[in-house]
Amino acid sequence: MAVSIIAITSKYAPGDKSNLIAILQDAQKKVGYITPEAVDKISGHLNISRSQIYGVASFYSQFKFNPPGRNSIKICLGTACHVQGGDFLLNALNSEIGISPNETTEDEKFDLDRVACLGCCALAPVIMVNDAIFSNMSVVKMKDLLDLYE
């Protein structure tokens, strides 16, 4: 993995701090998330401390610090879904698969994200698993749904 990070950083001028986000994006594309090793390498290359890199990366929700699961769940907590009980879904999910947003289950089956709107508010509450949207969710429906995934 270290080699692939070096392959990324070597494309950018050493010490040029303005490239930080671009490098982070490349690193995430390659590995799927931002690893501590990647932060180490980038820190050495750009001469920015690891804490500061983590500070920047954790500011943007696009960067993940956990390996992605085989299936990714996005749970909508936008206004309509929130009103329709998106929170209940989130809590139920939490107790069902044991993770909070931005985390990945231990068996790497699922990772979980919360999103602000999926664009189908009339069908609230909705969740999205991989590329499919599931509408008018309830806790019971959701549990059945998760069983379909490996």
Partner 1 sequence: MRQDKTHITALIDGEPVRVRRGDTILDAARKEGIYIPTLCYLEGMKSYGGCRLCLIDIKGGRGFPAACTTPLEPGMEIRTKTPELQTLRRNILEMTLSEHPYTCLVCADKKECGEFMHSTRKAGTITGCNFCTSNGDCELQDLIDYLELDDVRYPISYRGIPPVKSNPFYDLDYNLCVHCGRCVRICNEERNSNVLAFVERGNSTIVGTAFGESQTSAGCEFCGACVDVCPTGSISGKLGKWAGPPSRSVKTTCTLCSVGCSMNVNTRAGKLVDVGPAPGGRMDPPQLCIKGKFLAGDITEHPDRITVPMIRKNGRMVEVDWDEAIRVAAENLAAWRGNGFGIIGSAQDTLEENYSLQKFTRAVMNSNNIDLISSFPDPRLQEEIASHLQPKGRLEDILKADTLLVLGTDASVSHPLVENRIRKAYNAGRKVLYANSEATRTSLFSTVEINYSKCKDYNFLFVLLAELARETISGLPAGFAKQVKESLLISGLKSCSVKKDDLQAFVKALVKSRSLCIIVDESLLRDVSGLQTIKALANIRFLKAEKSNCRIMLLGNEGNLMGAAMAGAHPYLLPGLDPVSDDKALLKWNKNWDVKLSDVRGLPCNEMLSNIGRDGISALMIAGDVPVSGNLGKASLKKLKFMVQLNMFSTELTDHANVFLPVTGFLENDGHFLTLDGKIQRLHRAVPPQGKSRSVSEIISLLAGAMKADGFSTGRAGAVWKEIGSSIKIPVPQNGSPKPRFELMKPPDSRNAGSGKKSGSGKNHQDHYRYRGNRLSDLVTDLQALLESGMKEKV
Nearer to partner 1, 66 or 105 (CB): 66
Of 4, 6, 11, 59, the one binding partner 1 by CB under 8 A = 59
Nearer to partner 1, 39 or 126 (CB): 39
For the window 85-104, what string marks contact with partner 1 as x by the rule CB under 8 A? Answer: --------------------
Nearer to partner 1, 11 or 50 (CB): 50
Query: Using CB under 8 A, which of the segments 3-11, 48-56, 72-80, 126-134 binds partner 1?
Result: 48-56
> Least distance (Å) from partner 1 to the CB of residue 57?
9
Question: Which residue type, as a one-letter code, is found at position 123?
Answer: L
- Strand ranges inside the chain, DSSP E: 71-76, 103-104, 110-115, 127-129, 132-134
CB atoms within 10 A of CB 139: 14
For the window 1-40, what string marks contact with partner 1 as x by the rule CB under 8 A? Answer: -----------------------------------x--x-
Residue 68 preceded by cis peptide, ω within 30:
no
Measure the CA–CA gap between 94 and 71, rounded to whole angstroms.
Answer: 15
> Least distance (Å) from partner 1 to the CB of residue 10?
20
Of 11, 16, 22, 50, the one binding partner 1 by CB under 8 A = 50
Measure the CA–CA gap between 51 and 138, rounded to whole angstroms.
Answer: 40
Dihedral sign (CA 87, 88, 91, 94): negative
Measure the CA–CA gap between 11 and 69, rounded to whole angstroms.
Answer: 29
Contact positions vs partner 1 (CB under 8 A): 36, 39, 49-55, 58-61, 65
